[in-house]
Amino acid sequence: MRFHHPAVPIVLTILLLDSIGFGIVLPVLPDLIVHLGQVSLAEATRIAGYMLVAYALAQFFAGPVLGNLGDRLGRRPILLFSAIAFALDYLLMAAAPTLAWLFVGRAIAGIAGATYGPANAVLADITEPEKRGATFGLMGAAFGLGFILGPAIGGLLSDFGTRAPFIVAAVLAGANAIWIAFSLPETLPAERRRPFHWRDAHVFGAFRPLFHAGGATPLLVAALLWQLAHFVYPATWAFWAGLAMHWDATAIGWSLAAAGLAMALAQSLVTGPAIARFGEARTVVIGMLVGGSSFLLYVLAREGWQVYAIIFFSALQGLVWPSLNALLSRMTDASHQGALQGGMASIASIAAIIGPLAMTQALAFGAERGQPGGAFLLASVLVLLALLIVVFGVVRRLTPAPEAE
């Protein structure tokens, strides 16, 4: 594949390494929490939810700061900082003697803000507005490919203990930092940089341009609801698979690898053509219809083969985020793309503060009563609300009225 700018394959590789590192630790996290906390799997679900909230709270405050710093200092130093912070986070979690240290590690990762906001800003810097949806789709494909490799490797590494995947993840994050330091060109020229102001470095300041650009408010609300629903996966999947399917760490790893494969195929083969054929707004609708249906199907699943069938069907929900991001990116001028991505990170953080609590509590509440599908049922309701907002608040407004005869 030919790329229109040398930074594109570098950023995609950065995201690939980052997602491999993230995916490696997922299969063993339930066992590690059960071991350190001396709790049941259902109770470990609740603890994992609190851990995700610690991450989200840190990112909520740090995300807009990093986004605005990216508009001032450039994208490269922010990405480098994120990669180094993630390496330290994984090392800390590998050595954590108590649950409290796991929470500290998650807070460090939240402050780093991950790599997705700055990486989105890099691609927005170098991509024409009408091509951003497809380019953001490539980011989803890189994340999906990482999820093919990461969870499968994590499941295999679980044979060496629950700490081994964290050590390997730290090595990958360190390699990511080296890759950024020596290979990534800066994509924000000096003339497009703007001063850093603390008054802009929070979620409301970061989104100030959007609230006056093309009626973006309904789209932001829909993005928040979608993120709330989507947190059913990172917050509950490994725990739901153990409770509902009775899978061990290796089986959970393979299921996550299958999800990554499905996501990579959908993002690389479907997202660009879908946006070109249907437009960004209608592509969001298609993805949300698939996502809401998939959540309901997981509630009904009883056999492993059913889960895998749903995984590949649900991959089309990956159409939603790149299309939403592209729509919002069109509403923001070039000098505020970093602020936009910092704000998007904060929207995700708001969802991550509320979502994991809601999803893990719903899962634990149902599991203790023999019905572990409650989290997916809640997610389907949230997607329905987001879908209604997009259809009536965005799609109908963007659809030209028929001309009079």
**pLDDT at residue 312, rounded to an integer:** 93
**pLDDT at residue 289, rounded to an integer:** 94
Distance CA 280, CA 216 (A): 14
Q: Which residues of 287-315 are buried (b: 16+ CB within 10 A; e: fewer)?
A: bbbbbbbbbbbbbebeeeeebbebbeebb
Within a domain: residue 191?
no
**Do residues 301 and 244 lie in contact, with contact meaning Cβ atoms separated by under 8 Å?**
yes
**Do residues 129 and 329 lie in contact, with contact meaning Cβ atoms separated by under 8 Å?**
yes
pLDDT category, 383, cuts 50, 70, 90? very high
Within a domain: residue 116?
yes
Within a domain: residue 192?
no
The type of residue at 196 is F
Within a domain: residue 318?
yes
Q: Average model confidence (pLDDT) for the chain?
A: 79
Within a domain: residue 278?
yes
Q: How many domains does the structure of the chain reveal?
A: 1
**pLDDT at residue 399, rounded to an integer:** 54
Residue with tokens 């991950």: 114
> Over the stretch 257-284, which tens digit does the pLDDT of each residue have?
888 788 778 877 887 788 888 888 888 8
**Do residues 338 and 68 lie in contact, with contact meaning Cβ atoms separated by under 8 Å?**
yes
pLDDT at 149 over 50: yes
> What range does the domain containing 152 cover?
7-183+201-398
**pLDDT greater at residue 223 or residue 402:** 223
pLDDT at 163 over 70: yes
Within a domain: residue 403?
no
CATH number, domain with residue 110:
1.20.1250.20
Within a domain: residue 308?
yes
Across residues 128-138, what is the average pLDDT? 69
Within a domain: residue 263?
yes
**Do residues 180 and 14 lie in contact, with contact meaning Cβ atoms separated by under 8 Å?**
yes
The type of residue at 18 is D
